[in-house]
């Protein structure tokens, strides 16, 4: 498994990160918790030593799942654990909003530490920018948590460059987590170059574009109530088939490398300038085994050019991931 130093943190991490949004079940049509735990453990066996989670993933369920897997693994210090803060939900779990106030963060970190069963979080990330709370106040609270030994490094998820600058003016930022994949590439225009120039590590998420780049869809799928893809414009009938035509063309390149479509898509993301690590979720051990196949090979430059030609031909009106953002 390929490893890399995560920016200036000194953390030695796998270039693939085990993402647990799907493990939590919420917004993905549910999850088999026993199978999800086996997937995490299989990832650890394969050398994936970096796990990304969040309280909102299953409303604590994903963090609890990671905690159980860590206890079964038994070697906490061999795993880099990243989680997040700054989102809250109502009792019915139907409304989620941003809240990065210092009191909220101080409360959240103890909840996460308890669910994860650890005494320190390696990378603690603000999940979304909160317009109601000054970044300086949030960063001060995070620095206090560093001083208390509850968190090691601070990260930012779904932040734009000017927001990152504002946070960095108030405290150290070690990593940035933006959405980024073959079909959603807004981060490549400004954010990734900024991170590369500033020496900030990145762990990009959505590498398979909510399964669209897995190569498993036919275009006839119907997603259950509660599955976020029901509201994603890419999965509406006309757009869905448009994107799948691009996937079919991309698969021909992947076949030449004897790689699955998922492996090809994740490898593409990993080879883009400014990308340190790529997050990939998995429901099953078989899926994490497939994801791990992104390691140890390269897409040649001429095929990277062919990818651009395919996208220009098939994706006339790209749709971004903005629909995922919780209200401020």
The structural domains of the chain, with segments of one domain joined by +, span: 3-211+262-297
Q: Lowest-pLDDT range, 11-25, 203-217, 230-244? A: 230-244
Which residue, among 87, 56, 84, 81, has the nearest Cα to 69 in the 3D structure?
81
- Picking from 89, 48, 125, 80, the residue whose alpha carbon sits closest to that of residue 281 is 48
| CB-based burial label for 243 (10 Å; 0-12, 13-18, 19+) | buried
pLDDT value of position 169: 97
Architecture of domain 3-211+262-297: Alpha-Beta Barrel (3.20)
- pLDDT value at residue 167: 97
pLDDT of residue 325: 67
| pLDDT at 236 (0 to 100) | 83
pLDDT at 281 (0 to 100): 87
How much of the chain, in percent, has pLDDT values that exceed 70? Answer: 93
Return the minimum-mean-pLDDT range out of 88-97, 102-111, 149-158: 88-97
pLDDT exceeds 80 at position 94: no
pLDDT of residue 93: 64
Is there a contact between 200 and 173 (Cβ–Cβ < 8 Å)?
A: yes
Q: Which positions are annotated as active-site residues?
A: 57
For the cut 90, the answer to whether the pLDDT of residue 58 exceeds it is: no
Which pLDDT belongs to residue 237? 79
Confidence (pLDDT) at 328: 63
Is pLDDT above 90 for 120? yes
14 or 26, higher pLDDT: 14
* Banded model confidence at residue 47, pLDDT cuts 50, 70, 90: very high
Q: Is residue 29 over pLDDT 60?
A: no
Lowest mean pLDDT among 32-41, 79-88, 133-142, 152-161: 32-41
């Amino acid at each position: 498994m390929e490893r890399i130093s995560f920016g200036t943190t000194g953390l030695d991490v796998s270039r693939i990160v085990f993402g647990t949004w799907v493990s939590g079940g919420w917004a993905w049509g549910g999850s088999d918790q026993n199978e999800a735990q086996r997937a995490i453990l299989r990832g650890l066996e394969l050398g994936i030593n970096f796990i990304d989670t969040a309280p909102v993933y299953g409303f604590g369920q994903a963090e609890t799942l990671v905690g159980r897997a860590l206890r079964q693994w038994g070697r906490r210090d061999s795993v880099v654990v990243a989680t997040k803060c700054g989102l809250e939900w109502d009792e019915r779990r139907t409304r989620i909003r941003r809240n990065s106030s210092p009191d909220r963060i101080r409360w959240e970190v103890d909840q996460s530490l308890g669910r994860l069963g650890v005494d320190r979080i390696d990378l603690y990330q603000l999940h979304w920018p909160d317009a109601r709370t000054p970044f300086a106040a949030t960063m001060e609270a995070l620095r206090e948590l560093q001083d208390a030994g509850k968190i090691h490094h601070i990260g930012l998820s779904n932040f734009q460059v000017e927001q990152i600058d504002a946070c960095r003016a108030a405290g150290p930022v070690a990593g940035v987590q933006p959405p980024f994949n073959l079909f959603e590439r807004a981060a490549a225009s400004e954010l990734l170059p900024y991170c590369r120039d500033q020496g900030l590590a990145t762990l990009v998420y959505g590498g398979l574009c909510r399964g669209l780049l897995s190569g498993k869809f036919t275009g006839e799928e119907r997603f259950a109530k509660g599955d976020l893809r029901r509201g994603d414009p890419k999965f509406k009938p006309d757009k869905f088939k448009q994107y799948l035509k691009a996937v079919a063309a991309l698969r021909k390149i992947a076949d030449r490398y004897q790689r699955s479509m998922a492996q090809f898509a994740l490898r593409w993301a990993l080879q883009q300038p400014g990308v340190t690590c790529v997050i990939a979720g998995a429901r099953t051990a078989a899926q994490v085994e497939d994801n791990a196949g992104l390691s140890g090979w390269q897409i040649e430059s001429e095929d990277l050019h062919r990818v651009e030609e395919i996208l220009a031909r098939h994706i006339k009106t790209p749709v971004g991931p903005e629909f995922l953002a919780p209200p401020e």
